Amino acid sequence: MNWLNKTLTSSIGKKIVMAITGLFLIIFLIIHTAINGLIFYNDHGKTFTAVAHFMGNNPVTRTIEIFLILGFLIHIWQGLYLWNQNRKARPISYAYKNDAASSTWYSRSMALLGTLILLFLIIHTSAFWIPNRINQLRFSKELPLYEMMLEKFDNPVMVGVYLLGCFSLFWHLLHGFKSAFRSMGWSHLKYNKAIYISGIAYSIIIPTILSMMPLSIFCGWIG
């Protein structure tokens, strides 16, 4: 197992771990967005509540939830570690460098975008997931999540926070999607274009749906 430890703690190994956790979270976002997008049925939350109840009380999903939390923590930790290592590698700025010629601004701002997403994640879980899980543990009963959404997203500040979080998520995914495939060694001339197009589509669709939820509730399109 010593070889495995050396591999995972190496620079390449850390990027692979970052990619694996990132791909895991990409899959989670698809499921999370699909479930939350059920509010667009506009049936006063009946469909959303039924599916959310099933997911929240299913032993399989509750077990996966543990790995999800670990995935988030590892991804955040590895991201901060790699950012710090890259910063230490170049302690003195070059007299002249043209980063824009070889990279995009969002690829150079992954630490900033990741921090904004982390803050958004803290606000999001504090508003919904954490109080709901606490209530389940204490009273074996779920909170009315749909009604909570209607209440939270009636606040323009909360809506603004979510829109900013989705905006940051878009740029983060735009770089992270293709970067994860590259770090895993799944880069090939035959598939690179498909990965690139899929990454753009994913980065647009997921944040757009997530941002439309609070916006639709705030504007009274859903209620």
Q: Is residue 79 domain-resident?
A: yes
Nearest to 195 by CA among 207, 178, 179, 171: 178
Q: Is residue 178 domain-resident?
A: yes
Mean pLDDT of 71-97: 70
Domain encompassing residue 44: 13-87+104-218
Q: What is the pLDDT of residues 145-167, one digit of tens each?
A: 999 999 999 999 999 999 999 99
Comparing 146 with 86, the larger pLDDT belongs to 146
Helices 192-218, 145-152: crossing angle, 10 deg rounding? 80
The letter for the amino acid at 65 is E
pLDDT at 72: 86
State both tokens at 164. Answer: 């900013």
Looking up residue 164, the CATH number of its domain turns out to be 1.20.1300.10
Helices 46-57, 145-152: crossing angle, 10 deg rounding? 120
The pTM assigned to this predicted structure is 0.83
Mean pLDDT of 15-35: 89
- pLDDT over 70 at 105, yes or no: no
pLDDT at 216: 96
Q: Is residue 126 domain-resident?
A: yes
- pLDDT over 90 at 4, yes or no: no
- pLDDT over 80 at 223, yes or no: no
- The residue count of the chain comes to 223
Number of domains in the chain: 1
Q: Is residue 223 domain-resident?
A: no
Comparing 134 with 84, the larger pLDDT belongs to 134
Q: Is residue 96 domain-resident?
A: no
Buried (b) or exposed (e) across 55-76, using 16+ Cβ within 10 A? bbeeeeeeebbeebeebbeebb
pLDDT at 94: 46
Count the Cβ atoms, other than its own, within 10 Å of residue 43: 12
The letter for the amino acid at 121 is L
Q: Are 78 and 18 in contact (CB under 8 A)?
A: yes
Q: Is residue 63 domain-resident?
A: yes
CB within 8 A of 128, min separation 6: which ones?
Answer: 145, 148, 149, 152
